[in-house]
């Protein structure tokens, strides 16, 4: 039954309808089968932000470390802040130690951009990415990650 369900949601994930593909990504995350990882990675790389963000969160729920590199790439390079935030959240959920430098860079970039603008420092979508990066660093939980999170939190 689960394999049948998995195959049906994988098929829906590939459909052009973004709303249905987003729902499929959510369902695949709930199912948690690693067989969905390649399709979700492809979705993260190629689909609209609305769907790519859901794919990132699903990858975090599944927890397969083979997707960490792709999530880090999305965190660092995707043009949409919602996808970048979802990737940061997924990396924290997975406790991906190798993501610490990328999460640190997110914090550093945010603080550098808004260091003299206290009003915008506390608002906007970039703020959500910043706070998610801090939270993910805490989830990763290494001494280095905690130190980075503490420094970023006190500066922001």
Condensed to tens digits (0 to 9), the pLDDT of residues 80-102 reads: 999 999 999 999 999 999 999 99
Please say if the pLDDT value at position 1 is more than 50: no
Establish how many alpha carbons lie within 13 A of residue 151's alpha carbon, considering only the half-sphere containing its beta carbon: 14
- % of the chain beyond a pLDDT of 90: 83
Secondary structure string (H, E, C) spanning the chain:
CHHHHHHHHHHHHCCCCHHHHHHHHHHHHHHCCHHHHHHHHHHHHHCCHHHHHHHHHHHHHHCCHHHHHHHHHHHHHCCCHHHHHHHHHHHHHCCCHHHHHHHHHHHHHHHHHHCCCHHHHCCCHHHHHHHHHHHHHHHHCCHHHHHHHHHHHHHC
What pLDDT does 76 receive? 97
What pLDDT does 113 receive? 84
Q: How far apart are CA 63 and CA 27, in angstroms?
A: 15
What pLDDT does 114 receive? 72
pTM, 2 dp: 0.92
Q: What is the CATH number of domain 2-155?
A: 1.25.10.10
pLDDT digits (tens, 9 = 90+) for 103-112: 999 999 998 8
Question: Considering only 24-38, 83-97, 110-124, which range has the smallest mean pLDDT?
Answer: 110-124
What pLDDT does 124 receive? 66
């Amino acid at each position: 039954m689960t394999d049948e369900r998995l195959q049906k949601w994988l098929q829906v994930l590939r459909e052009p309808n973004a709303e249905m593909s987003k729902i499929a990504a959510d369902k695949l995350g709930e199912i948690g089968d690693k067989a969905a990882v390649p399709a979700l990675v492809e979705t993260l790389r190629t689909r609209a932000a609305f769907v790519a963000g859901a794919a990132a969160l699903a990858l975090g729920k599944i927890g397969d470390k083979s997707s960490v590199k792709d999530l880090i790439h999305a965190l660092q390079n995707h043009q949409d802040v919602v996808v970048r935030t979802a990737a940061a959240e997924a990396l924290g959920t997975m406790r991906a130690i190798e993501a610490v430098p990328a999460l640190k860079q997110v914090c550093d970039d945010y603080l550098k951009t808004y260091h003299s603008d206290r009003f915008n420092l506390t608002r906007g979508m970039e703020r959500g990415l910043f706070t998610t990066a801090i939270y993910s660093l805490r989830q990763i939980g290494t001494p280095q990650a905690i130190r980075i999170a503490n420094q970023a939190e006190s500066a922001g």
